[in-house]
Structure 1
């Protein structure tokens, strides 16, 4: 067997160690053959069962070569879909294939299965066809102007849709990918200083740390400003973080809008093509419309999923699609005639207080302005016809929780109208997060509900 797509692999560096192209090609060929021997192929999946970046890259390339769907984020038992084979990492980070019996039959055009974050509900398996992944790589690389001359630093897991989309851009553009096992502030700054990195991708939490470091250290600020692309995704980029990063470095963040069900990238702010206050311009080939009284964003284009996959039967659920084939995103927003998109928030997460709508991100930004607050997350607890009670959970290393809560309340009084101010502030050493790094609002609602019940 000669796997498809092994020749001409782009340059790869993992945790600072260059992976010679011949060695990478051998790993891909060997893994693809092992997957085929295990029974993986069209409709019979291979599961990426670890987070090691070398194994993740090899698994993606090998599954493509074998024609097998790749299951991502499949390690959690509650989420597992029966696959023909699972790929683990050895102690050296190289892949090893484990055969699994009785794989689930998937739609044959499925190329990858992502899991939604589960930040506001149960995670769902998203079945994505090969054509959607190919379009995502091409359209994103084109919008961001990425070529073989670029060096992409990725300190994010490749098992999530965001990280995997960068992998597609790498494959499409021929750029040099620097994949990291995780984000470490000093390591990231060292890579920027030594490796000639041109593009950095990360989540808001990461950029909050980088902005704070840049505000303290002019050298770090210069390194971040020298990047051509500072991609920020995976969660909402708040106006405060955007402004803080810009003030510390003199350079903007390039955020966007996406969801696992649609690519993930739908719209992007790019170098030289950026409008603060929006999530960017729609990618080529993507259309958006806003419908209904809630102003829900709906998406059409070549990057859409086939549907949600039933982990037990392999059947596809097309419930999120309209009768004419548009994807209902569950997000509110606006779109201009020339394709610039603005997102208001998740419909499920929008709070209604005394008849007034409140976006959690606005309250979170106000809470973060208080001294000693590292991060904040806001949820609402419904109280009959009175609407939502706003609960703010703030992350702080300060052990004087009462003092922190008082500062948060004061910051919110200065910045928010009365109906949007939190009715309760709880200080925690660390906010709960999903596996993709988003605030776990499901768990926060449980905490708030439990506390409400005890108080009653």
Structure 2
């Protein structure tokens, strides 16, 4: 049976979900930032559904390209990866694992289950944050690039810390952030995965992604497939969803990828997130990577807006670095033109001081696009 739990208090929610697991139930943690109406509808639906006897965990997909879906998985689908993660982190019972993401995130739920298996302590802030108090207690952090960047800024500002390693997933991880961490004595282990697939590939040397221990990968028609014992059982809801598993146990969530010259994986974004404009297919991740390389831009989210003549216009929401001046759209287009083909340059530009994000730290493209369509987003002149 599924037991919905709202994470309005991390400590209480953690106690509740552990009690549910001890009793053989399936906890489903909701994000307290959701509206009351949405959570009520989701939790009522979940409680009414029957799940198989081997199900132990329920979590939400990130929802970066649509509404979050409830993902079901067995206890063993996470347990069989514990040894590999423990080895990567050199985790012991003396460690304190800090997870600043909400408890509703599958990333956090995995860390709770994994840390308990080793006997390590788990540190969950009452609100997603990077306070100095947390950093002096934690020895390991499992987080997203965006959250790690905030942690690094706190430490570079003079806060003491005891962290030795960061396990980082959820979005792009740039080399500059790795170098900043290395200067602070923090080893960075990046990985690619999905709530449905769990771990797929790991980058523990800064040279690129290779298959995670116990995982086979293959690329078919530009789409990345993985086969392992870590795959989820499927969605609670019937029909739809990007997660597919074929008859041979290969699973995918529709992410595009290719291999570089050394055989390392290079991710190219979700197939269903492609923007079809005129005769071009634009992959948002590729444009976002180019925009982030422009001085003064901290982050960017790229999405399509409907257009009668071209099918869609490429649009971008950019978040500028603190203290930087806001450039004109003409200047941004000039900078983008030096990095992108003509078809990929954003035709509509918006700006924000705080990028809307999913619980895993990814830019919430659906929410951002809706704001632009409803004219609630701030246009750049």
TM range (shorter): 0.7 to 0.9
What is the match of residue 261 of structure 1? Answer: 196
Deviation, 1:232, is 1.8
Please say if 1:282 is aligned against 2:207.
Answer: no
Choose 1 or 2 for highest CA Rg. 1
What is the match of residue 35 of structure 2? Answer: none
Deviation, 1:406, is 4.4
Deviation, 1:358, is 4.0
Q: Residues 374 and 162 (structure 1 numbering): CA distance in 2 closer, same or farther, change over 3 Å?
A: same
Contact preservation (8 Å) 1:370, 1:411: yes
Q: Among residues 66, 73, 78, which one is paired with 1:128 in the alignment?
A: 73
Deviation, 1:257, is 0.9
Deviation, 1:258, is 1.1
Q: Residues 78 and 405 (structure 1 numbering): CA distance in 2 closer, same or farther, change over 3 Å?
A: farther
Report the secondary structure of 1:445's partner residue. helix
Contact preservation (8 Å) 2:60, 2:69: yes
Task: Provide, for residues 141-180 of structure 1, a one-character-per-residue CA deviation record: whole Å limited to 9, x for no partner.
Answer: 2333222232212222122100111112201211222221
In structure 2, the gaps of 5 or more residues are: 33-38, 376-381
> What is the Cα-based RMSD across aligned positions, in Å?
3.5
Task: Provide, for residues 378-407 of structure 1, a one-character-per-residue CA deviation record: whole Å limited to 9, x for no partner.
Answer: 112365784652211123599999745444
Deviation, 1:72, is 2.5
Q: Residues 330 and 385 (structure 1 numbering): CA distance in 2 closer, same or farther, change over 3 Å?
A: farther
The whole-number CA distance in structure 1 between the counterparts of 2:295 and 2:219 is 39
Q: Residues 384 and 143 (structure 1 numbering): CA distance in 2 closer, same or farther, change over 3 Å?
A: farther
Please say if 1:367 is aligned against 2:303.
Answer: no
The whole-number CA distance in structure 2 between the counterparts of 1:124 and 1:375 is 26
The whole-number CA distance in structure 2 between the counterparts of 1:318 and 1:348 is 8
The aligned runs of 1:307-456 (5 Å cut-off) are: 307-310=234-237, 320-334=244-258, 340-352=264-276, 355-370=279-294, 373-381=297-305, 383=307, 386=310, 388-396=312-320, 403-449=327-373
Deviation, 1:318, is 11
The whole-number CA distance in structure 2 between the counterparts of 1:67 and 1:316 is 28
- TM-score, length basis structure 2: 0.82
Q: Among residues 140, 146, 154, which one is paired with 1:205 in the alignment?
A: 146
Report the secondary structure of 1:253's partner residue. strand
The whole-number CA distance in structure 2 between the counterparts of 1:433 and 1:163 is 16
What is the match of residue 233 of structure 1? Answer: 169
What is the match of residue 114 of structure 2? Answer: 169
What is the match of residue 301 of structure 1? Answer: 228
Contact preservation (8 Å) 2:314, 2:347: yes
Report the secondary structure of 1:177's partner residue. strand
In structure 1, the gaps of 5 or more residues are: 1-43, 85-102, 452-456
What is the match of residue 143 of structure 1? Answer: 88
Q: Residues 341 and 165 (structure 1 numbering): CA distance in 2 closer, same or farther, change over 3 Å?
A: farther
Task: Provide, for residues 92-142 of structure 1, a one-character-per-residue CA deviation record: whole Å limited to 9, x for no partner.
Answer: xxxxxxxxxxx4322221111111121102321111112113224333223
The whole-number CA distance in structure 1 between the counterparts of 2:325 and 2:52 is 52
Please say if 1:48 is aligned against 2:5.
Answer: yes
The whole-number CA distance in structure 2 between the counterparts of 1:145 and 1:245 is 19
What is the match of residue 14 of structure 2? Answer: 57
Report the secondary structure of 2:255's partner residue. strand
